[in-house]
Structure 1
Amino acid sequence: MMKLACVLLVLFAMPAATADGAEIKSEKVTISVKQTTVQSVLSEIERQTGYLFIVNSNVDTKRSVNMSAVNRSVTDVLNDMFRGTGVYYAIEGRHIILSRNEKMNSGTSSGSNEGQKRTVRGQILDESGNPLIGANVRIVGGKEGVITDLSGNYTLSGDFNDNSVIEVSYVGMKTRTSRIGNRSKVDFALNSDSEVLDEVVVVGYGTQKKVNLTGAVSTVDVEKQLEARPITDVARGLQGSVPGLTIYTATGEMGTDPTMKIRGMVGSNLGSTAPLILVDNVECNSLQNINPEDIESVSVLKDAASASIYGVKAAFGVVLITTKKAKRGEKFSINYSNNFSWKRPTVTPEIVETWEGAEMSWAAGLRANPNLSEQTNSCYLSWNLESIERMKEWERVYGNVNLSPEMVLGRDFDIIDGKMYFYRSFDAPEMFIKKNSFQQNHNLSLSGSSGNTAYNLSLGYLGSEGIIKVNTDQYDRYNVTFGTNTELNKHFEVRSKLLYTRYEYDTPYNFGPSSSYDEWYYLYRWPKMMPYGTYQGIPFHNVVTEIEQANRNNKSNNYMRISVGGTAHIIPGLDFEADYTFTHVSRFTETNGGQVGGWNFWGGAGMKNEIWTAETHNKVVRATDMSDFHVLNALFRYNKELGKHSLGAIAGANIEMYRSYGNTSERRDMILNNHPEISLTSGDQYASAYKTHEARAGYFLRLNYAFNNRYLLELNGRLDGSSNFPADQQWGFFPSGSAGWIMSEENFMQGLKPWLSHLKIRGSYGSIGNQSVGANLFRPLLTPTTTTWVIGTTGERSFGLPTAIRDGFTWETITTGDIGIDMRFFDNRLGLSFDWYNRRNSNMIATGETLPATYGQTPPYRNYGELNTRGWEIALDFRHRFNNGLGISVNAYLSDARSFYDKLSTNSRALGSYEGREYGEIWGFETDRFFTEDDFETDPSGKLVLKEGIPSQSYYETNGWFFYGPGDIKYKDLNGDGKITPGDNTIDDPGDKKIIGNSSPRYEYGARLDLDWKGVDLGIFIQGVGKRDYWGTGSVVIPGFNYLEAWYTHQLDYWTPDNRDAFYPALSNTGQSNQTQNFLPQTKYLLNMAYCRIKNITVGYTFPEKWTRKAKISKLRLYLSLENVFEFDHLGDIPIDPETRTSTGDGDYIGRSYPYSRNTSFGLQVTF
């Protein structure tokens, strides 16, 4: 409220009896009170008029007054109440500021002091760089004093000297002093007094002062982290903002939800280990449904003591989002913001030239066949030594010529004996990917109040073009939020909120064999000889042609949430709250296949002008998925202050019912290829449907106690029930507690202030039940099918064997212990927090013991297993404003987590499943070097064999044609047995394998620097991972993975007798294996995925209010924002983004998926 006053109010030192303001004079109030306080009268005026009072600390608001006013103006009431008290007021808009200053005015000073008559001027700013209006400025020990004006300026005149000291004070701010010296201009920047304005943090079903928190809770600066950035969803904006919160995406595809984890990458064998995402205390299935501009606060609850109050889905933490709400008494305002951005891929593979790729394939092929005369790949592209020379000739003659797409027989390709030989080079990614794609974001909000009702309306639109150049993809999102809050009387208030989101993702149909094998996979699959042109005006068979001719697929999602609730103020300190929320989600998917044709050469017999797509693509599919979610939250809230004792309690219930249902209709054989409708098909019809139901209930209690602002205690208990367990195991009780000691408030610590401003030691311990393990694990399900072996070849309806179940199936219990310390230094400017934690899943659900094959069914699940996650977090923050107005804010964190399987149901001792195994372990060999000619000798048959003393690697020479030779990888013999083997692949006998890395991210960090000065602001945000290993798979990272397909420019550095210092070994055919020959998992080619990314740089300028006021604009800011600016990593020339994770496709998909993007954007923010 103080910062708002600084922007909106101007204080003129005029008596109350002469205050002016045409609008306020027309406001009438009726007040009749006896022996009440000034504060009570001011509150009643606020309630009746919507005006807000800003009261200086020198005004006695506890003074007792009598007031009788019937339909009188506000000015008359104020004049009567403050007559003879020396209280002054000023009016600006809907705000009134009060100050008592009998001998001060805004431009002059009175009194005298020994010294020389002189004048000092200056400006007073708050920690955000806004002018402080109405700040008290005086000479210490003297009578000179003034109040700052509209711009925070002051002028002091009087008899004072160089040793005189100026003191500046303002309610809610730290008082500051400065010796005048020989200066004529003295500026001040005041910081918030944390003892007066403690930060309030949103926690489970309520708020707490940050100083009183005893659990592990982190908050996000929403304004800095989410606003004015070209992000498509909230989750991407939160990445790197909070210690212990891991967020990543498998690809850069639009409309996909990033994966979120809190404190570790794994927590259970089954179900989701993602955090519970709550928006206004109700679960939200996707952050795509929330407009970042609608968010008021974000808290991350990380330990059991903080999260347990939310029950069974909060076992792995909670992301608690609070949206902006209507506030009574708020002046009507309009806010508009926009963002226009252009994005481009961060990194994409580059395919080698046609002849280079053919030569590399030839060299690899010679390893298997020294008499090689020709090669043909799976799409029937052929080449030999003669055609390779033709490729080189084409490149010399036409490589720099801008040819049309039309191909010429004899120049660009030949057909010889039914085989296709192509010489022309095409850059398919250049044809397919835009250099820049456009994205825009618009947000409009209106808020205000009328009488006892406050309201807010928010509208948002995001439109993002994809980066596909031909038949481009498009993502659109629409947001509507409307909320009201009405005070019926002093005992009751009601509230409501509507949230509606619709997003659509429009893409070309995918003609791949599955959703994993999309256009990106095929775009980078084939060499540049693939013909992407036309012949006789007819296109060739390739992925670009398919996308150009494809019909459009559309995925749309409608998310509607309606909430109604109320609060009853029963007695002072005791409230009852109840809220009901209904959420309906409907998803519609239109899959529009069809047929694509042209020159088809994939059959190996020349080329034919024909339809080449499979009949399975000649279809129209319509799918509908619906879900209904009912949530009732009801609770009593009690707070009481008794001297040095502070008590708080919450007791309530939470009931949730979830139902999902849907159906899919499909029909084959489209009648009109360009009119994909089910009614315009004539072939086979298919249909399917599903329905699920889930219910949860919980009763919770939280008790808070604080003594003397030093000793803190919180106790939580929750009784939870879930339909995911058998009747006798459906309920579980899960307690937790936390305690804290604010050590800095002890008398023996006072001597360390202000150097050590705050010191708190805290700890927590508790448990939460995890029910996110699947809904039917305790039920013996029968699967319907058709069977032909009973009666001839006719399919008969039948059911498979029921799934095996086990008695006693029950909750997973997640227990967390946390020890933390919070410190603040130098008048609260510097803050430091540290947490150490251990999270244990002590009843982890896993498959049971291996059963005999004669049993005929897989082993049942049971509660047998233990997983421990241990880690630590450290966070640092610093903020200060210098007297010249420069403000600086720094926030940084570093966190680490490791998870261990301490107990398994089947401890086979295998490297992938032994007790004590760390999650993410990568086992492999230690690379020694490349073999050289000196390692070999010739046997009597003329074959190269290893010399005596060189460990044999014949264990991996299994395909009959690959034999290790010069230029191949030599592995280290770690166990000294003279041969390289994996032993029996157990922890007891790993052979020459060892742990070479771990795929889990370690030492995740984020840092943010914010500077502002005279309206100019600069924000720099850095995010990264200190350690993560990755064994790369597929063609992009393993040369020769499919040696007859594409090779990439970064793979040109391979071993030859003339290039012995190469990075890659001699070329060979790995047979589409990620663990073979020269590419067994090993230290040399293990990818170091650590990185430091400049995530965002934003520069903005806020125009001075004195410029914008004439246009009725309260705030106007222009900004430039860069997203994913650049990164430092250890990948060298390997063209994958360091955030790449295992994709949904097979191993060959890595690096050949929808790319991540960099964004350049600008926009404005304006408030009327």
Structure 2
Amino acid sequence: MNIAITPKMNGCRTILLIVLLTMILHIPNGIAAPLKPNNEISLIEAIHLISRKYKVLFNYDRAWVSGHEVRYTLDKAESLEEDLAYVMGQTDLKYHVFDGQYVALYRDDKAGLESLEKMVGHFQSILDANERKKEEQIVAFLNTPATRDIYNRQLELNVQGRVIDANGNSLIGVNILVEGTNKGTTTDIDGRFTLNDIDEQAILTVSYIGYKSQQVSVDGRMSITIIMQEDIQTLDEVVVVGYGTQKKANLTGAVDQVGSEVFENRPMPNVTQGLQGVIPNLNITLADGKPYRGASYQIRGLGSIGQGGSALVLIDGVEGDPTTLNPNDIANVSVLKDATSAAVYGARGAFGVVLITTKEPEKGRTSITYSGNMSIKAPTIVPDMVSDPLVYTDMFVEAYSAYYDYSRTPSSFHRSLKYSEDYHNELRQRAGNPNLPDVEVDDDGRFQYYASTDWWDLLYKDQVMGNEHNISIQRGDDKTKFLISARNYNQDGLFAYNSDDYSTLNLRAKASVKIFDWLEIGNNLNLANEKYFYPVNVSGGVIWYGLVNDSPPMAPMFNPDGTLTMAAAYSVGDLQYGKSGITTQNKVVRNTSSFNASFFDDAFHVRGDFTFRNTDKGQITKRVPVPYSNQRGVISYLGSTTNDLTDRNSGVNYLAANFYTEYEKTFSTVHNIKGLLGYNYEQSEYNSLSTRRNGLLFPDAESLSLTNGGGITIDNNYSKWRVAGGFFRFNYNYDERYLLEVNGRLDMSSKFPTDQQWGFFPSVSAGWRITQEPFWDVSTNAISNLKLRASYGSLGNGNVPPYTYQELFNIYTMNRLIGGTINQATSTPAVIPNGLTWETSTTADVGLDLEILDSRLQFTGDVYVRKTKDMFAVGLDLPATFGATPPKGNYADMTTKGWELSLGWNDELTLGNKPFRYNIRATLSDYVSTIDRYTNPNKDLGSYWDARFNYYPGMTIGEIWGYETEGFFTSEEDIQSHADQNLYSPSSTKTWLPGDIKFRDLNNDGIISYGDNTVNNPGDRKIIGNSSPRYAFGLNLGANWNSLSFSVFFQGIGQQDWWPGTDNALFWGQYNRPYDLIPKSMLGNMWSEDNPDAYFPRLRGYVALQSSRELAVVQTRYLQSAAYVRLKDLRIGYQLPVNWVSKARIKNAQLYLSGTNLWNWSPIYKYQNSFDVANIYGQDQDTEAAARIPGGITGGISNGTQTYNYPTLKGISFGLTVTF
């Protein structure tokens, strides 16, 4: 033992007296209590017997123990664990053994768990007292007269200690830091540690993965034993629900929750990308891979085909946009899936609620946490197209000529390049001499192109850099708490030219003050500023459209004189010119002020909050003509009619107020009640103003004041809505066994006529915790929790446009002169629906929660049926004499049936004499939606060629009707003997040849047809697939060992069909247009006499372009499986040893490596690898909007396919997290 004396003395050391608490049971000497005839004794008597038998001490609340009778004899078992399991299994009490000699008895409820924590602290004090006894003589030595002259000096001690768990097992690698210093260490293989020369009053911060962190005072001791409590979520986990929390064990609704670990150490632009695939039946659809892109949130599938079926997303209890939220601010995300759990949110939560809760400031000294990362990203998929000019031209000529039955030859490669036989021959000659120049100039000064350009390679960068910086400061005590966090995220653009750079800045300030013991007020301020630039093509915004249609590989980017080629001007060259684009800036200010008043020993609470949110979005779209040249010295311009600028500004002012009371009480120890009663009000006001004017004075102009054109278009939109509601929730449970919850909400919405604005929607749920029953005689090591639950309820959905029930008309400027004047006019108001009212969503749910093998294996399963009635859909068929389009109304019903499973495993084993903890979580879900009622009495299938977009009674949502492909025609005899399929065409003259598609004659009438295009007579069509995502799954694997952590997350869809549609050049190549680019995967996979078993038919152009042509017709052969599995996330972390970092006054530091979207697989890649299958039903919304601007290409985007879609990015990042 080493003792150093320092001149920092603060007074005389005294010997602390050890006082045993009265709750420790004194074990008397004596004999066992006499047994009753049936071997029943009181629980207290059994405790006496076990205590004396094993020489252990018990700690418990006598009120919980009294009144229990149990069966027990001394010879019942041979171990303490067996005796405790047998005796306590006959009661509703739980037990925990500490250090092999202390036993705590407690109830598995809030009060019981609080009592358990106090018991652990008490046992710690007993161990500390034992340690002090060993030190008494040493301390007494310091109290001798010989040392009185140094009493006023402070001691520095060498402290030795041991860290153990509740069972007395040594814990290896525990971090121990001396608060306020740079000293620290970790425990060795025996759980022991040594700290030299530390202050006698020092505070030790002790932390370990899987255990609760704690602070221990040295208090002059030189030997310390520290007991760490395991962070057992299954015992006391609470789940965020509407306007409060509930203990997970007592939930009766369908609720799922994930914590902040989902977002930690994952560089991502916004929250949405981190949630995808994590929670079963939370279906998140991303339109594309842009960094700022939001998503559609659906819970348990499609909620409604009419008024919208998206989930309500709330941030700290108030509606918000997750894309404006810092992922590092999130504490947890709860998903309320059924009517009972979402009932208190009423019509706004008709199809489920996503509750995002941000972190609260923690008690303790000021702490500062910084985290940062650098990332390298690239597209998950880059189309690999043919760039060989001769191969491309050979196939172009064949595709073009074959469509015209070889009666015509082409004269140009669409608009950007001429074709001739001489040019073709020149390509053949150059094929063997790659050293010849890519561009020649003919006698007329015209450029002749012979390059082999990979346009996709020119479009994208090889890699994209990104960085993120986060900092948070927090402090808290019994009176005040605050947390301030900031985030800056930057990502370089993917495009090689005119880069689409993205940046976002988030700031949050959260604080609370306890004015009185019964009153606490708080404020939560969030600021977000998001900027994104997106380049567009002057021809209409669709960058990829010009790339695949107007950019043959023979044309290079530049001419010898440095000017752009015409092919480049239609695509990448437009970006290189760098003048056209969309600049978007979003600014969000959101503030919530709240109060919480507590009365009657925290049994009664009054809470309220008021939120205002202001969202301003500014967007400038500029389109500038692109200069190019086909002839030396001659400059032409592409898009000369679209020299314009559009300035659009929109804003949303949103207000929300909540006021509610909550009462919770336990009677006679077994009757537990909890009630909630509240009021909610929300108001939203939207205003937008868009001004477009042509005639930019110069290409770099960024203001409307720098335009002088006569074409001015002004568009203004305004809307406002209000909702209000009173809600209640009542919970009752008997002895933690029988659970009941009743909810209801009275809703009001300004979106309906005055006589339909109010609606009341109730729900009820119940649960039975079978393992809490007295008759349950199964060991908790086998089955620790078994709960059955069921719920039933209805919710209204009022998600209709604000003025649907009013007659609306537009004011516009006429396009002709009347009396020499251009006048304004109004449009004819639409017919309004009669009796417009709420959609009603009624859900029945049955669920099972199971924990077995000492809670290591956890299972949750739900089966549900949701009926959505009175959906807002097309009206009744009316005669033509009605003179107007029939109004929409409440004319449709739908049923959704589904299920979801979640399975988790948590365990620990020893690896290299150190604990190795690992966990597995798997999720699987499915749903099917069916139309029950719809205004389509004849069950018309809609389009003759593509029956995917019409509803009818009995329809399964997403079903795809099409022909069964029998194969290819093999000979002229085969064609003549086959059913007549001249309703469709393989060529301009409908001449079928060997290698063309052959459809099966299902009804054997000798004609391939669509019948009368109804369900009852579809001709030779049938249901061949379904576009709805089925069997969504996720698999998360995690482990930590010796300061190392590892996690991997796979996510995917088990079944989904996708029809490529028409005008999809990335899939069909030159079958679409003969001059389109060709996917390399097609080469060698097209029919020929030498290759009759190829996947694709005889090469013909235009046959996949539109309507009734051979490949435009929906059919089985080219229906694609869009099922996929993706390695969504991979993380490896290393916690730096405290004795390394403490010298820099760092509490803890972690390094991590993270990978995102590193790998994916899908059956579709067997034939085509040009698509990001995870977003295959996505759509580039920015270019879609740009294409609708007058002068743009309005027909360029067909079928919402990913032909023109921004790719998802994959990437690797390296980061650091440090806490001071």
Shorter-chain-normalised TM-score: which range?
0.7 to 0.9
Q: CA deviation at 1:261?
A: 1.2
Q: Distance in 2 between matches of 1:699 and 1:784?
A: 40
Q: 1:307 pairs with 339, 342, 345, which one?
A: 342
Q: CA deviation at 1:526?
A: 2.9
Partner of 1:667: 693
Q: Distance in 1 between matches of 2:665 and 2:8?
A: 43
Contact preservation (8 Å) 2:872, 2:888: yes
Equivalent pairs counted in the alignment come to 1020
Q: Secondary structure at the match of 2:346?
A: helix
Partner of 1:518: 543
Matches within 5 A, 1:649-668: 649-668=675-694
Could you list the per-position Cα deviations for residues 276-301 of structure 1 after superposition, in whole angstroms to 9, with x for gaps in the alignment?
Answer: 110000000x2110000000010011
Matches within 5 A, 1:1061-1080: 1061-1070=1093-1102, 1072-1073=1105-1106, 1076-1080=1109-1113
Give the partner amino acid of 1:744: T
Q: Give the direction of change, closer, same or farther, for the CA distance of 1:862–1:678 in structure 2 (3 Å limit).
A: closer
Partner of 2:389: 354
Contact preservation (8 Å) 1:1004, 1:1024: yes
Partner of 2:787: 760
Could you list the per-position Cα deviations for residues 934-974 of structure 1 after superposition, in whole angstroms to 9, with x for gaps in the alignment?
Answer: 644xxxxxxxxx333x2222221397513221111111111
Partner of 1:985: 1013
Contact preservation (8 Å) 2:985, 2:991: yes
Partner of 2:645: 620
Q: Secondary structure at the match of 1:288?
A: helix
Q: CA deviation at 1:487?
A: 0.5
Give the partner amino acid of 2:1148: K
Partner of 2:1210: 1158
Q: Distance in 1 between matches of 2:448 and 2:190?
A: 81
Q: Secondary structure at the match of 2:1065?
A: coil
Partner of 2:926: 896
Q: Secondary structure at the match of 1:363?
A: helix
Q: CA deviation at 1:449?
A: 2.4
Partner of 1:932: 970
Q: Secondary structure at the match of 2:350?
A: coil
Q: Distance in 2 between matches of 1:318 and 1:662?
A: 28
Q: CA deviation at 1:1005?
A: 0.1
Partner of 2:751: 724
Partner of 1:409: 441
Partner of 1:588: 618
Partner of 2:406: 370
Q: CA deviation at 1:222?
A: 2.2
Say whether 1:261 aligns with 2:261. Answer: no
Give the partner amino acid of 1:863: N
Q: 2:259 pairs with 221, 229, 241, which one?
A: 221
Say whether 1:547 aligns with 2:575. Answer: yes
Contact preservation (8 Å) 1:124, 1:132: no
Q: Distance in 1 between matches of 2:993 and 2:1012?
A: 26
Matches within 5 A, 1:736-1135: 736-787=763-814, 791=818, 795-883=822-910, 884-911=914-941, 912-933=950-971, 935-936=973-974, 946-948=975-977, 950-957=978-985, 960-1033=988-1061, 1034-1039=1064-1069, 1040-1052=1071-1083, 1053-1070=1085-1102, 1072-1073=1105-1106, 1076-1131=1109-1164, 1132-1134=1166-1168, 1135=1170
Q: CA deviation at 1:425?
A: 2.1
Give the partner amino acid of 1:530: A
Could you list the per-position Cα deviations for residues 43-95 of structure 1 after superposition, in whole angstroms to 9, with x for gaps in the alignment?
Answer: xxxxxxxxxxxxx99899999xxxxxxxxxxxxxxxxxxxxxxxxxxxxxxx9
Give the partner amino acid of 2:652: S
Give the partner amino acid of 1:770: N
Q: Secondary structure at the match of 1:101?
A: helix
Q: Give the direction of change, closer, same or farther, for the CA distance of 1:258–1:23 in structure 2 (3 Å limit).
A: farther
Name the stretch that deviates more: 753-762 or 1065-1074: 1065-1074
Matches within 5 A, 1:225-374: 225-264=262-301, 266-284=302-320, 286-327=321-362, 329-352=363-386, 353-367=388-402, 368-374=404-410
Q: Secondary structure at the match of 2:638?
A: coil
Give the partner amino acid of 1:829: R
Q: Secondary structure at the match of 2:365?
A: coil
Q: Secondary structure at the match of 1:471?
A: coil
Contact preservation (8 Å) 1:520, 1:1154: no
Q: Distance in 2 between matches of 1:909 and 1:437?
A: 50
Q: Secondary structure at the match of 1:751?
A: coil
Q: CA deviation at 1:561?
A: 0.4
Name the stretch that deviates more: 303-312 or 850-859: 850-859
Contact preservation (8 Å) 1:202, 1:208: yes
Give the partner amino acid of 1:1058: D
Q: CA deviation at 1:202?
A: 0.5
Q: Secondary structure at the match of 1:886?
A: strand
Q: CA deviation at 1:652?
A: 0.5
Q: Give the direction of change, closer, same or farther, for the CA distance of 1:788–1:333 in structure 2 (3 Å limit).
A: closer
Could you list the per-position Cα deviations for residues 2-53 of structure 1 after superposition, in whole angstroms to 9, with x for gaps in the alignment?
Answer: xxxxxxxxxx9x9xxx999999999xxxxxxxx9999xxxxxxxxxxxxxxx
Q: Distance in 2 between matches of 1:384 and 1:392?
A: 13
Q: Give the direction of change, closer, same or farther, for the CA distance of 1:1114–1:133 in structure 2 (3 Å limit).
A: closer
Q: CA deviation at 1:464?
A: 0.5
Q: CA deviation at 1:1153?
A: 2.2
Give the partner amino acid of 2:324: N
Matches within 5 A, 1:562-577: 562-572=591-601, 573-577=603-607
Q: Give the direction of change, closer, same or farther, for the CA distance of 1:189–1:499 in structure 2 (3 Å limit).
A: closer
Partner of 2:420: 384
Q: Give the direction of change, closer, same or farther, for the CA distance of 1:651–1:103 in structure 2 (3 Å limit).
A: closer
Q: Secondary structure at the match of 2:1204?
A: coil
Name the stretch that deviates more: 850-859 or 467-476: 850-859
Q: Distance in 2 between matches of 1:214 and 1:1075?
A: 54
Give the partner amino acid of 2:661: F
Partner of 1:445: 472
Contact preservation (8 Å) 2:980, 2:1006: yes
Could you list the per-position Cα deviations for residues 481-514 of structure 1 after superposition, in whole angstroms to 9, with x for gaps in the alignment?
Answer: 001111111111100011000000023343132x
Give the partner amino acid of 2:1206: Y
Partner of 1:207: 245
Q: CA deviation at 1:919?
A: 0.6
Partner of 1:145: none
Say whether 1:498 aligns with 2:525. Answer: yes
Q: 1:528 pairs with 553, 559, 565, which one?
A: 553
Contact preservation (8 Å) 2:986, 2:1110: no
Q: Distance in 2 between matches of 1:823 and 1:451?
A: 38
Q: Secondary structure at the match of 2:1140?
A: helix
Q: Give the direction of change, closer, same or farther, for the CA distance of 1:633–1:227 in structure 2 (3 Å limit).
A: same
Q: Distance in 1 between matches of 2:1219 and 2:166?
A: 21
Could you list the per-position Cα deviations for residues 455-487 of structure 1 after superposition, in whole angstroms to 9, with x for gaps in the alignment?
Answer: 000000110111111121100000000011111
Could you list the per-position Cα deviations for residues 881-915 of structure 1 after superposition, in whole angstroms to 9, with x for gaps in the alignment?
Answer: 22430000111110001111011123331123321
Give the partner amino acid of 2:1021: K
- TM-score norm. by structure 2 comes to 0.79
Contact preservation (8 Å) 2:515, 2:521: yes
Q: Secondary structure at the match of 1:100?
A: helix
Give the partner amino acid of 2:1055: K
Unaligned runs of 5+ in 2: 13-20, 25-55, 64-120, 137-160, 177-184, 194-207, 213-225, 942-949, 1182-1196
Q: Give the direction of change, closer, same or farther, for the CA distance of 1:1148–1:704 in structure 2 (3 Å limit).
A: closer
Contact preservation (8 Å) 1:521, 1:1153: no
Contact preservation (8 Å) 1:619, 1:670: yes
Matches within 5 A, 1:49-198: 99-101=125-127, 104-105=130-131, 124=165, 153-154=190-191, 192=231, 197-198=235-236
